[in-house]
Structure 1
Amino acid sequence: MRIAVTGSIATDHLMVFPGRFTDHLIPDRLAHISLSFLVDSLEVRRGGVAANIAFGLGSLGLTPQLVGAVGHDFAEYEIWLKEHGVDTAAVHVSSVRQTARFVCLTDEDGNQIAAFYAGAMAEAADTGLRDLTGHRTVPDLVLVCPNDPQAMLRYTQECRELGIPFAADPSQQLARLTGPEVRELVGGARWLFTNEYESALVLERTGWRRADVLDEVGAWVTTLGETGVRIERRGQDPLTVPAVPGVRAVDPTGVGDAFRAGFLTALSRDLPLETAARTGCVVAAAALETVGPQAYDVDFERLTAVFTASYGDEAALHLKAWWGGRR
């Protein structure tokens, strides 16, 4: 299966301040703040929802097409993605803006001061899916992830016009999108991905009942954190798959993206839906145990062992027949 992943591509700059912000705030001077904090550490992580998912798909043996907008500072990041099987030919490079960047300073109490620079992401709507289909293999599925809202709407509409199945993953942008825009993004999707909170936002924004959503999509996949995942389809009982037990949670960033990569990769290999959901949970667990959304290692033997320990030998039979293309 050829999967095109559209959405954000960004870098995260994470710093830690060994003190408390509140110790440096003067109550009667809050109207004019000028503060500088000396930090102990800086971590630069590769991120962005679309890039995270494409990294997972590529690491698992597919060759996903990444569709998004970046700046000229993307060169090193691009090499990393290519090394992990990602096709970056469709990535738009801005001539005037840098790659989107998240900068966050955290103090010892967990308080944060952060800024997000959208940068080149503002140009994402300038490149459409027709640019892909004109000279490249038409994707079998387009995943529409958080991005510039106009780009998300454009990709969804072009999928309908070109007859390309698509998956809707609006996640963080749900808070910004209007009701009509959410209905436009969700309606007709083969797959709808949300977490539990986002599932409530979808209902609130669209004004639809749960049954109405299921009338609009092929399947609704809701990740439930440490509980696992729920998959709902019209006229069928929900399928609930528990998460991998006993995972040492290190960093939750990008865990949902890793689930999507495992889930979609398994589906692309024609594995049963339950096996695909379990595969997604196993890959998500690997991401949760590492720092950064693209730091986990796809080791076939280890992931198969985790799958077997979590879901049993019989459940792992389908997986063992396929997995291991990147041993």
Structure 2
Amino acid sequence: MSALICGSMAYDTIMVFPDQFKNHILPDKVHILNVSFLVPRMRREFGGCAGNIAYNLRLLGDDPVPMATVGQDFGPYRQWFAEHGIRMDQIRELPELFTAQAFITTDLDDNQITAFHPGAMMRSHENHVRDVPGVSFGIVAPDGRDAMLQHASEFKAAGIPFIFDPGQALPLFSGEEFRHFIDQADYVVVNDYESNLLQERTGYDEATIAGKVRAYIVTQGPKGSRIHTQGAVHDIPPAHERRITDPTGCGDAYRAGLIFGLMRDYDLPTCGRMASLMGALKIEHPGTQNQRFTWAEFAEQFRQQFGTTL
């Protein structure tokens, strides 16, 4: 049985401005802002939540099924996934549109200016969870608004356990809609900032959310993560990376480790540690899909980090 990964697939174009934005933006002239930044360094990465989660699950030896809508420029991404043996039967290509993409410019202070083009992602509701056979687990990750609402409803109707991961889609929904997502989901995963925002929107505290799902998981960056259940709170220690190269995509790697563990009935503390290690292995590499390891290497790293075997 496979995990259905509902979410975005995107290209990330990342550029570095070798100066500080503040030196070129006049505060008293922002009403007539017209600036241009020379960016001698640029790279293009494969990204999007569904793409990143599927890639990380494949590293663990799983057979994920990413579900997304993409555009006429998907060719290089398709080849990348083919090289890694990742299924693409639930990826719908819309030739009249472009694949979603982010254009990110970072200055020397790590400030960022990002332009995001959703492209084909805005029609991701044309895919249906109910049409995919052989699915035993799922995740509703950031995607088009209508798609996220629809996918959650169809997972629930099919009796398929799933994770609700609002992420950067948090601004798209009302408190009532978030409460409905929580009522449908089996797990909710957010970072600590998103947790505060979700609580503010819903009027629920952590204990209330945990009481409505099997687990409410809050990541805390270098501090690790916390898994809240109806009867306990599990503090998950961070895995220790050998070097910090690029944090982009660590959250998606964490979610892949969580999904892998949950599908194999590991207990929640073990699932959290697997997820933590996935994030640490990702942060050692640039981009979101450039880390490589085998299951044996992952299991050995887990033993060294946490003192137990998988």
TM-based fold match above 0.5: yes
Q: Is the 8 A contact 1:152 1:185 kept in 2?
A: no
SS at match of 2:200: helix
What is aligned with 1:306? Answer: 301
The structure with the largest alpha-carbon Rg is 1
Q: Is the 8 A contact 2:227 2:268 kept in 1?
A: no
Q: 1:276 aligns with which of 256, 271, 279?
A: 271
Aligned letter for 2:244? A
CA distance in 2, matches of 1:27, 1:179: 35
Matches within 5 A, 1:112-151: 112-132=112-132, 137-151=133-147
What is aligned with 1:174? Answer: 170
CA distance in 1, matches of 2:278, 2:130: 32
Matches within 5 A, 1:121-270: 121-132=121-132, 137-234=133-230, 236-245=231-240, 247-270=242-265
Provide closer, same or farther for how the CA distance between residues 200 and 19 of structure 1 changes in structure 2, counting only shifts above 3 A.
closer
| TM-score of the two chains, using structure 2 as the length reference | 0.93
Provide closer, same or farther for how the CA distance between residues 275 and 211 of structure 1 changes in structure 2, counting only shifts above 3 A.
closer
- 1:260 is displaced (CA, Å) by 1.2
Deviates more, 1:29-38 or 1:80-89: 29-38
Instruction: Note the alpha carbon deviations across 1:112-142, whole angstroms, 9 max, x for none.
Output: 322011111110112211232xxxx231112
CA distance in 2, matches of 1:304, 1:114: 37
CA distance in 1, matches of 2:207, 2:22: 47
Instruction: Note the alpha carbon deviations across 1:39-72, whole angstroms, 9 max, x for none.
Output: 2111101111111001111121111111111101
What is aligned with 2:78? Answer: 78
SS at match of 1:243: coil
Q: Is the 8 A contact 1:59 1:85 kept in 2?
A: no
Unpaired runs of 5+ in structure 2?
Answer: none
Instruction: Note the alpha carbon deviations across 1:281-312, whole angstroms, 9 max, x for none.
Output: 11111001111111111234443332222211
Q: Is the 8 A contact 1:53 1:260 kept in 2?
A: yes
- 1:247 is displaced (CA, Å) by 4.1
Aligned letter for 2:265? D
Q: 2:285 aligns with which of 290, 300, 313?
A: 290
CA distance in 1, matches of 2:33, 2:13: 23
CA distance in 1, matches of 2:205, 2:290: 38
CA distance in 2, matches of 1:31, 1:177: 30
SS at match of 2:34: coil
What is aligned with 2:109? Answer: 109
CA distance in 2, matches of 1:29, 1:259: 42
Provide closer, same or farther for how the CA distance between residues 27 and 287 of structure 1 changes in structure 2, counting only shifts above 3 A.
closer
Aligned letter for 2:258? F
CA distance in 2, matches of 1:301, 1:166: 27
Aligned letter for 2:163? A
Provide closer, same or farther for how the CA distance between residues 25 and 194 of structure 1 changes in structure 2, counting only shifts above 3 A.
closer
Aligned letter for 2:55? F
Q: Is the 8 A contact 1:188 1:218 kept in 2?
A: no
Aligned letter for 2:200? E
CA distance in 1, matches of 2:246, 2:5: 23
SS at match of 2:135: coil
Deviates more, 1:36-45 or 1:62-71: 36-45
Q: Is the 8 A contact 2:60 2:294 kept in 1?
A: no
CA distance in 2, matches of 1:109, 1:225: 20
Aligned letter for 1:92? R
CA distance in 2, matches of 1:246, 1:49: 22
- 1:180 is displaced (CA, Å) by 1.2
Q: How many residues align?
A: 310
Matches within 5 A, 1:89-104: 89-104=89-104
CA distance in 2, matches of 1:114, 1:83: 30
CA distance in 1, matches of 2:115, 2:14: 11
Aligned letter for 1:139? V
Q: Is the 8 A contact 2:164 2:182 kept in 1?
A: yes
CA distance in 2, matches of 1:111, 1:214: 35
Q: Is the 8 A contact 2:247 2:283 kept in 1?
A: yes
| TM-score of the two chains, using structure 1 as the length reference | 0.89
Unpaired runs of 5+ in structure 1?
Answer: 320-327
